[in-house]
């Protein structure tokens, strides 16, 4: 059986995209939409994140520009597997004329997760990234990941994204997470992530570090709400990227 945390959020906090972080269960809507927890079920939700900047694999997209990152997701949970679809966007709130060549990105992610054992989950997916302003074909990445439950609320997650374009690249990330109950209706999740990328023939990897926290409330009737915060830092660019997020989900 997949851990309930997986059933409530197919990907990470949308604001983690400010650092290019992908896959895993970090900072999601954890164990609250109980309808999908035992056996088959469906989960749908929406999230709105605000980030101080947006870097993609080390490339400056919205440097120092406040931007909104909304997310819609839909997941189907089976006995030992889950299918999920996520639509994510990044929209700068100012300097839009200056950012015209790269503004308003929209990503579609399709992901499958299976329980390889009682403690190990494996994920694979495909990401299609669109930038309507430039009229180019979508940028595509293959996604793979693994999550190991260590017990006592602790887990370790590893993920990678491989570009499928002519200018290939790879992004790898890993980190621990802890999830614990706060009373009968709340859950706290803390996570740390380190990642690096090698894109467009760059000699050195772009390194990013992130600390995140999420508080989830069980609202009853299958509903769950979450508030999340992220602090990201890139030693390579000396950029700090704080972000906050709110989300609402329902399970059936």
Q: Which of 17-26, 149-158, 188-197 has the lowest mean pLDDT?
A: 17-26
pLDDT in tens, 116-140: 999 999 999 998 988 777 666 788 8
Residue 37: is its pLDDT beyond 50?
no
Query: What token pair was written down for 140?
Result: 């595509």
Domain spans of the chain, in order of start = 4-251
pLDDT band for 164, please (50, 70, 90 cuts): confident
Q: Which residue has the tokens 């590893």?
A: 158
Q: What does the pLDDT look like over 84-124, one tens digit per residue?
A: 999 988 888 877 666 665 567 888 999 999 999 999 999 99
The answer to whether 2 touches 212, Cβ cutoff 8 Å, is no
Residue 134 dihedral angles phi and psi, to the nearest 5°: -95, -10
Neighbours of 205 (CB within 10 A): 17
pLDDT of residue 146: 92
Residue 60, strand partner residues: 55
DSSP letters, 133-191, are GG-PPPEEEEEEEEEEEEETTEEEEEEEEEE-SSS--EEEEEEEEEEEEETTTEEEEEE
Rounded alpha-carbon distances, angstroms, from residue 248 to 3, 177, 219? 19, 21, 10
Q: Six-digit token pair at 4?
A: 């309930």
Residue 172 clears pLDDT 50, i.e. is over it: yes
Taking Cα atoms as reference points, which of 111, 91, 87, 107 lies closest to residue 99? 91
Look at 32 and 22; give whichever has higher pLDDT: 22
For 35, list phi and psi in degrees, rounded to 5. -60, -30
DSSP state of 117: S
Q: How far apart are CA 219 and CA 195, in angstroms?
A: 34
The tally of CA atoms less than 13 A away on the side-chain side of residue 210 is 35
Measured distance CA(176)–CA(154) in Å, rounded = 7
Query: pTM of this prediction?
Result: 0.83
Most confident of the following: 34-38, 54-58, 147-151, 226-230: 147-151
Q: Rounded to whole angstroms, how far apart are CA atoms 62 and 31?
A: 33
Mean pLDDT for 138-154 is 91
CATH topology of domain 4-251: Porin (2.40.160)
Is pLDDT of 68 > 60? yes
pLDDT score at 6: 34
pLDDT band (50, 70, 90) for residue 202: low
**How large a percentage of the chain has pLDDT more than 70?**
73
Give the three-class secondary structure for 134.
helix
Q: Among 18-22, 72-76, 162-166, 248-252, where is mean pLDDT lowest? A: 18-22
Identify the band that residue 165 occupies on the pLDDT scale cut at 50, 70 and 90.
Answer: confident
- The answer to which of 17-26, 166-175, 180-189, 198-207 has the lowest mean pLDDT is 17-26
Identify the residue with better confidence: 217 or 241: 217
């Amino acid at each position: 059986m997949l851990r309930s945390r997986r059933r409530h959020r197919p990907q990470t906090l949308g604001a983690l995209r400010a650092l290019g972080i992908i896959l895993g269960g970090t900072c999601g809507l954890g164990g609250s939409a109980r309808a999908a927890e035992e056996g088959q079920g469906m989960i749908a939700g929406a999230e709105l994140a605000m980030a101080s900047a947006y870097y993609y694999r080390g490339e400056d997209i919205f440097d120092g520009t406040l931007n909104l990152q909304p997310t819609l997701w839909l997941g189907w949970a089976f006995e030992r597997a889950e299918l999920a679809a996520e639509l994510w966007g990044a929209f700068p709130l100012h300097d839009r004329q200056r950012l015209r060549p790269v503004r308003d990105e929209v990503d579609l992610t399709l992901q499958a997760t299976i329980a390889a054992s009682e403690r190990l989950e494996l994920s694979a997916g495909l990401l299609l990234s669109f930038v309507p302003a430039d009229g180019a074909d979508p940028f595509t990445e293959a996604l793979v990941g693994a999550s190991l439950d260590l017990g006592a609320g602790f887990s370790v997650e590893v993920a990678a994204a491989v570009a499928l374009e002519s200018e290939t690249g790879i992004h790898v990330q890993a980190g621990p997470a802890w999830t614990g109950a706060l009373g009968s209706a709340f859950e706290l999740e803390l996570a740390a992530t380190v990642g690096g990328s090698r894109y467009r023939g760059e000699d050195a990897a772009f390194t990013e570090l992130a600390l995140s926290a999420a508080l989830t409330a069980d609202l009853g009737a299958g509903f769950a709400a979450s508030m999340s915060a992220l602090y990201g830092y890139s030693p390579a660019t000396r950029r700090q990227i704080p972000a906050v997020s709110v989300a609402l989900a329902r399970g059936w």
